[in-house]
Each structure stands twice: as C-alpha cells, then as structure tokens.
A and B are shown apart, each in its own frame.
Chain A
Amino acid sequence: QQPVQSPQAVILREGEDAVINCSSSKALYSVHWYRQKHGEAPVFLMILLKGGEQKGHDKISASFNEKKQQSSLYLTASQLSYSGTYFCGTEIIGNYGQNFVFGPGTRLSVLP
C-alpha cells in the first residue's frame, strides 16, 4: 500500500532544479507533500485533492495525475533551505476504508 518515491536521494547545487515522483499501485484520492529536516517533525507543503490539479507557492509546485496514480513535486532554483527529506502522503482506499500512508521519502541535499 505504501507509495513508491523516486529518486531515493538527490544532490543539487544551489539554483538547480529537481523533480520528485510519487506513484501508487492503488487509486489515489489525494496526495500530500511534506518536508522533514533532520530531527524535526514533517512540515506540510501542499495538498492536491483531485486529478489534474497543480499547485505551487514560491518555487515549489506539484501536480497530480489521477489516471496514472502519481504525483510529482517540482523544486526550481533550489535554495539551501530546501534540503531535507520529502515525503508524499497518499489517501487510498485500504482494507479499513480510507487510509493515509506515507512514502519512504526522497532525501534532497542542496549544496552551495
């Protein structure tokens, strides 16, 4: 049930772009994106509630392809503060109704 994230890790230079993908074998009803810095709690970035939806703020945006059961997070002109582990959280219909499960994470390191 856990979604798959790719890549597992990425290293960037400041100002470079990155794409993180999240896909599921089950139908997705919503997708969340969170960022977690080492030793801290995950922090909400954005939520996509329906297929075709795209959202963004600052230089971070995301899309949700309901048919392909996947979402992508786009980070443009990355800043040092973007470093951390990015998790997608997906709402699926599991054995007990609506479940909300997280992916394994993508570790992003932005270097000066």
Chain B
Amino acid sequence: EAEVAQSPRYKITEKSQAVAFWCDPISGHATLYWYRQILGQGPELLVQFQDESVVDDSQLPKDRFSAERLKGVDSTLKIQPAELGDSAMYLCASSIGQGGTAEAFFGQGTRLTVV
C-alpha cells in the first residue's frame, strides 16, 4: 500500500542550528501539506503545495522556516535557526485533491526536539 514517507523519524538539535525534514508523498498526489503538531493539540497547517506552487504559507514563520517542492514531487521543510519553541511533531500529508476535497494521507512524522 502506498504511503507518505518522511525522514528522519526523530531529530534532536541544539537551538540556533539548522534542521531539515524530507517528505515523499504518494505518487500522483498533487497536493502536499506540512503540519506542525504540538503535543495535545491539533495539527497546524504550515504550508500547502499544489504541485510545485505554494498555495498557502500564511502560517509559516518565514523568518526561520522555508519549504520547497521543486519538481512537484518530494518536499523539504527547513528551520534555520531552530528555537526551543519549535519542538513538535512535523507531519507531512498528501492528497489527490485540492483543498479538502479528498482525504489526506499522513506520514509518520518527524519528532523534533530542540535543546
């Protein structure tokens, strides 16, 4: 069964360091989402791609976060410099439809701890 692949699963980094997460969506899924989930809360949308274009990055802290999906397939989310408050689960999801018209499939996430 096709899955959304994310790596690494776990990352510990010191504050002020750079960190990057990778996501490979399900083949054929044009929509890709990056979410941040703090323990005990719902996923918070950081950025949404439709193919290689950013559809919504209004909640992305652009002074330190960046995201790209250069060929409209896999995607990278970067944080530089990392801050203590960035500790969270970073989830990638993909969907065959745009917006909320089709189910989103989630990867296992990357749990980031900033020390």
Q: Are A100 and B99 in contact (CB under 8 A)?
A: yes
Rounded to whole Å, the gap between the CB of B111 and the closest CB of chain A is: 9
Size band of the interface chain B makes with A: 20 to 34
Distance, CA A50 to CA B8, complexed state (A)? 38
Interface residue SS majority, chain B: loop
B87 at the binding interface (Cβ < 8 Å) = no
Residues of A within 8 A of B58 (CB): 94-96
Contact B91–A47 (Cβ < 8 Å)? no
- Answer whether A41 and B108 are a contact pair too, CB < 8 Å, given A97-B55, A100-B45: yes
B42: chain A residues within 8 A (beta carbon): 2, 87, 102-105
Q: How far is the CA of A91 from the CA of B98 in the complex (A)?
A: 10
Considering only CB atoms, which chain B residue lies closest to A100 in the complex?
B100
Chain A residue numbers with a CB within 8 Å of B45 are: 99-102
B56 close to A41 (CB less than 8 A): no
Residues of chain B having any CB pair with chain A under 8 Å: 33, 35, 40-45, 48, 55-56, 58, 91, 98-109
Binding site for B on A (CB under 8 A): 2, 29-32, 40-44, 47, 49, 87, 89-91, 94-105
